[in-house]
Structure 1
Amino acid sequence: MSSSATDRPTVPTTLWLARGRRSGPEAEPVVRQTLLRRKNDGLIDDHLEPPEARTQAEHVFEARWRVAGEVTVRARLSLSPATEQGQEWVLLAEAERAWDLEWPSPATMFWPEEPDAEWDREPARGLRLREVNRLPEEDKEIRRLLRDCVDGGWALNVVVHEAMTPDEHGRQPLSRLLPPSLRHRVVEHRAAPEQLRVVNRALRQFGVEVPRGGAVLLHGPLPGADAADFAVRSVFLDGSRPIELVDALARFTALPPPLPDGADRYLTALREDWRLMTLEEELARERALVAMYSEALEAMTESRDLYREAADRAHEALTAYRESGAAPAAPVTRPPEQPAASPFQQLTRGLERFRTTAKSRRPKAVSENGTGQESEAADGDEKANGPDPSAG
């Protein structure tokens, strides 16, 4: 687990994001029914399936609701086409202020909360987000599983070691004890009491160890964080809330971490392709468009005036050239490797050459008396003296 700096953009503090896979038939009817139920229950303000967003690559649902009284949340769910393994989904939600972990999970607005609704599988290995996932027996398989789950950075992977065999309360998943906005982002890997040494050997690839009876959060490159910053010494599997683990998860999400692989595309779509707007938002959008078009028209008018002024000057120069009676200068061939000048630049340069040519070919000024006597005297001397005998 590296803590070196990265060039990837970080997750905005206003953003909640998750990725998963639903097993079973097509998910669109399930999402549609769940959104309708949430709206009837007053949990969301409205939802929409943008017709232009339905493509062969994905099917999009939008929903909006309010938290903490007046804070608006906009969420966008993208469903990929169904395959034999199920249907992958990506869900991003953004609030008007920094995200609070105690707010409802956006996943519950789009998906049913029943335990048998298997929409909560992690895409890489099919592990459940709301259940305990037992680590395999083999060293190599543990390493491969954890590496596959951590790659991409979408889920928060937590390895929990059981110091002793837990009772019925301890066998329950910790996700149900986490803040609501963390419950559908955490993959819980559970190690049996006798697996501590094997698990820590597998965790060397991340540069971290899980304490006996504790837990550790796995993550990718994270600037400003040490590998041991998110290790929890004790997790009591007795049904009580794991305070230290919740604190580690909250510190991790507050850093904030880099955007997961491919998340920038979904974030751009959420912000720029949003269609579910209120009347006030539509009016504000139209006013912004009018202002933008007005600025563009003003810029075009100014550009037109500049071109007109340049054309007038060019016309004046061309008139002066014609009045001078000068012949056109030979065209200049521009080397092919040089970039071609604009038509306006070519016209200006040509007219400058014409001006210079016209000036150079104007007749010389005669003397003040206007008779040209100096030239005539020179011719008379040559005739009187005859040809130079030395010539020839």
Structure 2
Amino acid sequence: MAKNSSSSTTAPDTVWLGRGRHLGPEAERDVRRNLIALKAAGVIDDFLDLDPVEAARSTDLFPRDEAADPGPLARRVFEARWRVNDGITVRAQLTTYETESRRTETEGVTWVLAAEAERAWQADWPSPATMFWPDSDHVAWDHEKVPGLRLRTANHLPKDDDEMRRLLRDCTRHSWYIHVVVHEAMTPDALGRRPITSFLPLSLRHRVVEHRATPDQALIADFAMKREVGVGLPRGGAVILPATPQAPGYDAERFTVRDVFLDGTEPAELIAKIVEFASLPQPLPADAEQVLTRLRQGWHLLTPDEELVHARAMVTRYAKALEAMTASCDLYREAAESAHAALAEATSGNSAPATPTPAVPKQDASPLKTLTKTLGLFRNPNR
């Protein structure tokens, strides 16, 4: 997979992106079981389970763009299609990967997920993550790529100052998620320990990572955040961290809440600010661009109508390719006739000097290989 970096490209408002690590023993089995259950229940229309080699291989003589290749570390590619709001189609693709370092099995299986709708994404739509992964605390699919963090839970900041600053730096520079830091004015009870992400609209619950600073971390957390991120943390309040580069329209004061009561009730002001922040145009990470390209150009799960359109397009492409090949043959024949005529006129019937014998094609150059090579000159990388 590509290294973590950032891009000035803005993420399309039709797209939902996610990335994480599954620490369980059978990541693909968990995905497969969830997809089968949701299809049987009518939640999704259909799905595909592809070997990465099969996913990268074209089914015709016009291969997909190389960006559609999931890469050598890919384990499986899953595609799913469902509808929201009575007819808006969502297409999503999840790819699981081997851990790049392969040092220990505790790093789990890395996964990336891209979903795109036919119109701008709505926060109250179902989360694409729960279309592939079971929404259960017993399946550990929700670990962030940044070590030590999980979705769907409250993550306490490290006690060590250097570790805290390193974590904040990684979260703002290398994460695909929205990060919120909440300071606990006093140690909360069981209700207060409930993650604030559980109050978010469905599509945002798996796009937000919640951090908690304990009561005695008020000063150290505020200092570390000002030093690394440029925003402060109010005592007993919360702040939404900016990404690097910052989203247009971000203002620290605008996305800071002075008081958050951790008593199990919905923190309405903070939830509203998270929803507002998520609606801003977000920078598209460079390593997410390839994931989005693969979704668009490496898509396999076609509807019957899409298959018909694709077949018609292929017929047109083959016809144009054959027409171009025929025209090339005609031009070659005309050129050969002109050359023979010129040679006859130049020699005026006299004995012509010895001319080199035209090269004879190799016997193993089969017509099929010749046709494939010719058609390849006219291929269209965009399907």
TM-score category, normalised to shorter length: 0.7 to 0.9
Contact 2:184 2:212 in 1 (8 A): yes
Which of 260, 270, 281 aligns to 2:306? It is: 281
Aligned with 1:68 (options 81, 85, 99): 85
Q: Matches of 1:92 and 1:66 in 2, distance apart? A: 16
Tell me what 1:91 maps to.
113
The reply on whether 1:43 has 2:43 as its aligned counterpart is: yes
8 Å CA contact 1:153, 1:220 repeated in 2: no
Match of 1:113, SS? coil
CA distance, structure 2, for counterparts of residue 219 and residue 230 of structure 1: 15
Larger radius of gyration: 1
Contact 1:162 1:214 in 2 (8 A): no
1:166-245 equivalent positions in 2, closer than 5 A: 166-203=188-225, 204-212=227-235, 213-222=237-246, 224-228=248-252, 231-234=255-258, 235-245=260-270
- Cα distance, 1:310 vs structure 2: 4.7
Deviation of 1:261 after TM superposition, in Å, equals 4.3
The one-letter amino acid of 2:80's match is A
What is the aligned residue count? 323
1:328-382 C-alpha deviation (Å, 9 max, x unpaired): 9xxxxxxxxxxxxxxxxxxxxxxxxxxxxxxxxxxxxxxxxxxxxxxxxxxxxxx
Calculate the aligned-residue CA RMSD, in Å: 2.8
TM-superposed CA distance for 1:202, in Å, is: 1.0
Gaps of 5+ in 2: 1-5, 57-71, 100-104, 354-383
Asked whether 1:15 is paired with 2:15, we answer yes
Percent pairwise identity: 52
Which residue of the partner structure matches residue 78 of structure 1?
95
Aligned counterpart, 1:359: none
> Which stretch of the first structure deviates more once superposed, 53-62 or 28-37?
53-62
Cα deviation digits, residues 181-203 of structure 1 (max 9, x gap):
11112110111233222112111
Q: Which runs of 4+ in 1 moved over 6 A?
A: none
Match of 2:325, SS state, is helix
Secondary structure in structure 2 of the residue aligned to 1:79: strand
- Alignment-mate amino acid for residue 290 of structure 1: V
Of 273, 296, 301, the residue aligned with 1:271 is 296
Measured in 2, the distance between the counterparts of 1:211 and 1:218 equals: 16
**Contact 1:13-1:98 within 8 A present in 2 as well:** yes
| SS of 1:151 mapped into structure 2 | helix
User: 2:125 is aligned with what amino acid?
Assistant: W
Distance 1:35 1:236 in 2: 38
Q: Which range is displaced more, 68-77 or 111-120?
A: 111-120
Cα distance, 1:129 vs. partner? 0.3
Code of the aligned partner of 1:299: A
Cα gap change, 1:251 to 1:301, in 2 (>3 Å): farther
Can you give the 5+ residue segments of structure 1 that lack an aligned partner in the other structure? 1-5, 329-392
Q: Residues 308 and 211 (structure 1 numbering): CA distance in 2 closer, same or farther, change over 3 Å? A: farther
Pick closer, same or farther for the CA change 1:145–1:300 going to 2, 3 Å. Answer: same
Q: Is the 8 A contact 1:161 1:215 kept in 2?
A: no
Which residue, out of 156, 167, 176, partners 2:178? 156
Distance change >3 Å, CA 291–CA 31, structure 1 → 2: same
Greater RCO, 1 or 2 (C-alpha within 8 Å, sep 6+) = 2
CA 1:280–1:195 in 2, change beyond 3 Å: closer, same or farther? same
* Normalised TM-score (structure 1): 0.74
- Partner of 2:107, secondary structure, is coil
What is residue 365 of structure 1 aligned with on the other side? none
State the Cα distance separating 1:78 from its structure 2 match.
1.1
**2:323: which partner in 1?**
298
Q: State the shift of 1:90 in Å.
A: 1.1
1:312 offset after TM fit, Å? 4.9
Structure 1 CA distance for aligned equivalents of residues 155 and 266 of structure 2: 19
Cα pair 1:18 1:91 within 8 Å, conserved: yes
The amino acid of 2:141's aligned partner reads W
Give yes or no for the alignment of 1:109 onto 2:131.
yes
- In structure 2, the CA distance between the partners of 1:285 and 1:230, relative to structure 1 (3 Å rule), is farther
**Change beyond 3 A, Cα 1:220–1:80:** same
SS in 2 for 1:211: coil
CA contact (8 A) 1:162 1:193 kept: yes
Q: Cα gap change, 1:316/1:255 in structure 2, threshold over 3 Å: closer, same or farther?
A: farther
